Chain A
Amino acid sequence: MSTVVNFHKVVAVAGGFPVLAGLDIEIAKGEIVHLRGSNGAGKTSFMRVCAGLIPISDGDANVLGFDMRDDRRSPRRHIGLLGHDNHLYKDLWVQEHVEFRAAATGAEAGDAGAALRRVGLSDRLWSVPIERLSAGQRRRVAIASMLVGRPQLWLLDEPHAALDHEGRGLLDEILVEAASSGATVVFASHERDLSKSVATRVVTLRGGRLMEDSGAA
């Protein structure tokens, strides 16, 4: 099982604050890791460091074979990041936005339709400006935009938050499907019970460091 993410004593600083303070973690291909921890524990920062958006100031970090000290940009094309925000162009129509995201990663425009159906958005909504959608629907469009890029490493921050029950079921299916097709998934979530259904492993962070690790499934 090749390692996708390998952190050793990683310290990262953002906005003059040590968001990660000596984090050790190793994630193998195909795992679905559920990140738990209170606010400020470092969940979001960990994902942004994996995505190369935050530089590391100490320790060693390796993502998808790239050493994050030297080259933070190259792995990004293989990584999908979904933060608290949805990264949507609110003026565009649903279909236009997802097609743009597809084209940006070299996928076919046709994939957009498939992705939108996969997240349960009926084609009636495809020609509606994103601005007019509900939070849950927007979250689904964001997930579809990520699905269409077929990333090797999925980083999702509180993805279940805005979704209704049906949406969460769909999301879990998508995550399992992605992991089985060779991708690796890391998602952060507050709710405790979620970890039962999908995650192959639960990791708890506190103070920018690893507290508990339920170990590989």
Chain B
Amino acid sequence: MLREALLIARKDLRVEWRSKVTLGHVAPLALLILVVFAFAFDANARLLELGAGGLYWVAVLFGGTLLIQRAFDVETEDGNFDAFRMSAIGAPSLFLGKSLGVFFQVVLLELVLVPGVVLLYNVRIENWVLLLAAAVGGTLAFSVCGVLWGAMAAGLRVRATLLPLLLVPVLAPVLLAGSRAFETALGVRAEAGWTWTSLMFVIAAVHTAIGLGTFGFLLEEG
């Protein structure tokens, strides 16, 4: 199972390596969003510093949704969805593989966003370990939910508008927990960032379980 999942993930990362969509298009866009937030808040340093944790995750949410869209467009263009469904790889491995692929691409995105937030919103990272754990937890939850809902909307003509509508309500708790955890890590707030981080891992675990069980159903376009 894991071997097959890694196979899918490796293929997705190679597609990314060849097409450079994440690094070339989505990461700069996410950075741009951080800049646009500053316009929205009239470059009010205090406000940006306070909101840095939250704005970061909104940028990840936005960029990540585009990556999910891309991950399934790759699977549906040129009749690939038939091959995806015909593949000898079982649905659970397809699910894990796609999630891993998306996970690494979102991590790529965050490697650009973290320095972006630190520089643009001049925040100091007090607790690196918490920041890292929260980032991993949030990205994991994001990737798993994203792939689950991405498959739901894959191949549909209206997927560009339907996917965000389906995805954001489900990811609201991740955005909430991520923001609070990051604020703690950035020293803006004193609450227990670790509890919020663990909540994100719980969300990731719950959706992984659901995905493993239902991904087969989602592929049955029939």
Contacts and interface: CB of A to CB of B under 8 A. Distances in A.
Nearest to B74: A89
A91 B19 contact: yes
Interface stretch (A51-59, A181-189, A206-214): A51-59
Contact of A53 (B74, B82, B89): B82
Contacts, number: 69
A57 B7 CA distance: 36
Interface stretch (B10-18, B149-157, B164-172, B194-202): B10-18
A76 B82 CA distance: 11
A84 to B, nearest CB: 7
A129 B18 contact: yes
Contacts of B19: 91
Interface in A137-167: 149
Interface in B69-105: 74, 77-80, 82-83, 85-89
A129 B87 CA distance: 22
Q: How large is the interface on A (under 10, 10 to 19, 20 to 34, 35 or more residues)?
A: 20 to 34
Interface string A47-79: 000010111000000000000000011001101
Contact of A100 (B7, B18, B79): B7
Nearest to B10: A100
A81 interface: yes
B75 to A, nearest CB: 9
Interface of A: 51, 53-55, 72-73, 76-77, 79, 81, 83-93, 96, 100-101, 103-106, 129, 149
